[in-house]
Amino acid sequence: MELNEIRKEIDQVDAELVDLYIKRMTLSASVAEYKRANNMPILDSSRERTLLNKVSELSGEDFEEYTRTLYATILDLSRSYQHKILGNTSASYLSIEKAIENTPKIFPECASVACQGVEGAYSQVAAEKLFRLPTITYFSNFNAVFSAIEAKMCRYGILPIENSTAGSVKQVYDLMKEHNFKIVRSVRVKIDHNLLGKKGTKLSEVKEIFSHEQAINQCQKFLATLPRDVKVTCVENTAKAALMVATSDRNDVASLSSHSCKEQYGLDVIAKNVQDNSNNQTRFICITKELEVYPGADKTSLMLVTPHRPGSLYKILSRFNSLGINLLKLESRPIPDSNFEFMFYFDLEASVYSERFAQLLSELEQACEDFTYLGTYSEVI
């Protein structure tokens, strides 16, 4: 048989398959209506398991796995269609709708803001980029920022969530989940690390350098050029490092800090822009206790735990594909005190007003063992 003849037969089979698929989805819609009338859940795991076993047997040994994979996808799409018919049942989206009604239409220009660090920290730069007139209170660690908002000392908090070189700040994700806080906006800040010292200090005189762990990791090439006897010491943040240099009685210390710290603490730039990557950016999030959703919000952050069995993550990802929603970030990390089980961080791009977005949240809530909605917001570049 010639190739063109084979392809004609395939086309004919495809046409028949499409007709049968539409018929199946129509019947699936009837099932959805029955489930609505009888207050039944969309997912029937026992029914799906029986069906997958049945089609595997019918297809024979050569095609068993292929058929099972095909039908697993069909069942996913069928469930997605049923969700669409029955409407949004997501608790998260219902809270989003309520927040849209109650949130002011304009993001505030002035606000009380909690930041980790001291004057000159990159979090201050982020706060001043988000708010025209922020009233900033500084705290020694990330957890204290959350506590300050819970105690109503500040309305918002500014925290680093991701660096283009060093990756995600996992402690902040953990605290977001622990305190049940929400993201209301994010902002990107360009990171330029400089070696700062007291007036007149020369590079050859430096014996100890203070900075945050991430900044140290981001300046490895520069640090490798220094003599071996130069000590590198980790401190809470880059601004605290600059403050330590400014208040020290030593003249042989320096810090890896922002240029704003030079002005803030009266230091000299010993070496400028010493980071390994010139396009080094950190994304900061603005957090609060109560959900706020401002007009134009088109970015959403989630934390998910999938069932611990083969294909679970694939089924989650297939929902993004079937709904045409762009996935901006996917990152995994082990769940503490578990045996090789993982939690996933997702950032997705979709308008908060989109029906597809509402449907996605509804499907994910039901498909995941643990679902944490972190907020829908816009990002300042």
Q: Which residues in the chain show pLDDT less than 50? A: none
Residue of 303, 361, 345, 306 lying closest to 80 (CA atoms): 361
CATH topology for 1-86 is: Chorismate Mutase Domain, subunit A (1.20.59)
**CA-to-CA distance for 169 and 283, rounded, in angstroms?**
10
Instruction: Tell me what pLDDT residue 238 has.
Output: 92
Q: How many CA atoms lie within 13 A of 53 on its CB side?
A: 6
Instruction: Tell me what pLDDT residue 124 has.
Output: 93
**CA-to-CA distance for 299 and 350, rounded, in angstroms?**
6
Residue with tokens 């570049």: 381
Q: Is the distance from CB of 154 to CB of 292 less than 8 angstroms?
A: no
Instruction: Tell me what pLDDT residue 173 has.
Output: 92
- Every domain of the chain with CATH number 3.30.70.260 lies at 89-103+293-381
Instruction: Tell me what pLDDT residue 89 has.
Output: 64
Q: Report H helices in 3-141.
A: 3-37, 45-59, 64-86, 91-102, 122-130
- Every domain of the chain with CATH number 1.20.59.10 lies at 1-86
Instruction: Tell me what pLDDT residue 167 has.
Output: 83
Instruction: Mark whether 107 is an active-site residue.
Output: no
Instruction: Tell me what pLDDT residue 345 has.
Output: 93
Instruction: Tell me what pLDDT residue 139 has.
Output: 94
pLDDT digits (tens, 9 = 90+) for 162-187: 988 778 888 999 999 999 999 999 99
**CB within 8 A of 270, min separation 6: which ones?**
194, 195, 196, 197, 201, 202, 203, 206, 254
**CA-to-CA distance for 275 and 223, rounded, in angstroms?**
10
Phi, psi of 114 (to 5 degrees): -100, 130
CATH topology for 89-103+293-381 is: Alpha-Beta Plaits (3.30.70)
Instruction: Mark whether 67 is an active-site residue.
Output: no
- Every domain of the chain with CATH number 3.40.190.10 lies at 117-191+281-288, 197-271
Spot the catalytic one: 238, 282, 288, 300. 282
- Which CATH number describes the domain made up of 197-271? 3.40.190.10
Instruction: Tell me what pLDDT residue 30 has.
Output: 92
Spot the catalytic one: 284, 320, 344, 371. 284
Residue of 359, 306, 328 lying closest to 77 (CA atoms): 359
- Which CATH number describes the domain made up of 117-191+281-288? 3.40.190.10
